Amino acid sequence: MQDAEALARLLAGGVDPNEVFSNVTLLTHAIDAEGDAAAQTGQPLNVHSTAVLLAFGADPVLPDPDGDTPMDMARRYGHDLAIRLLEAHISRGCTHGG
């Protein structure tokens, strides 16, 4: 949760929610980090960083430079919470590309 709070402060300060870093979008990275953390700790998946990024306008369908979308990453981990959030944003048309 501390990461999500720090992320929210950065985004509120003007960081682009669709920024690409190390060949992934921030949203795809957040979903990967949430899935990886749950896999390594055995704790339930959380969706804190994903929700923060979507709240600050991250595009839920924006692919990274390799063509992977946030939904691709969420499906890889079976991250149902992220999938449901992404679907809700997509169905409302909350995308920059569409």
Closest listed residue to residue 63, CA positions, set 14, 16, 20, 10: 20
- Asked whether 30 and 73 are in contact (CB, 8 A), the reply is no
- Asked whether 73 and 35 are in contact (CB, 8 A), the reply is yes
Output the CA angle 38-23-52, nearest 5 degrees: 50
Instruction: Return the SS3 of 61.
Output: coil
Rounded to whole angstroms, the Cα distance separating 91 from 40 reads: 32
What pLDDT does 98 receive? 45
What is the mean pLDDT of each successive set of 10 residues along the chain, which is 98 residues long? Answer: 85 96 93 92 92 96 94 94 95 70
Q: Quote the tokens at residue 56.
A: 């600050």
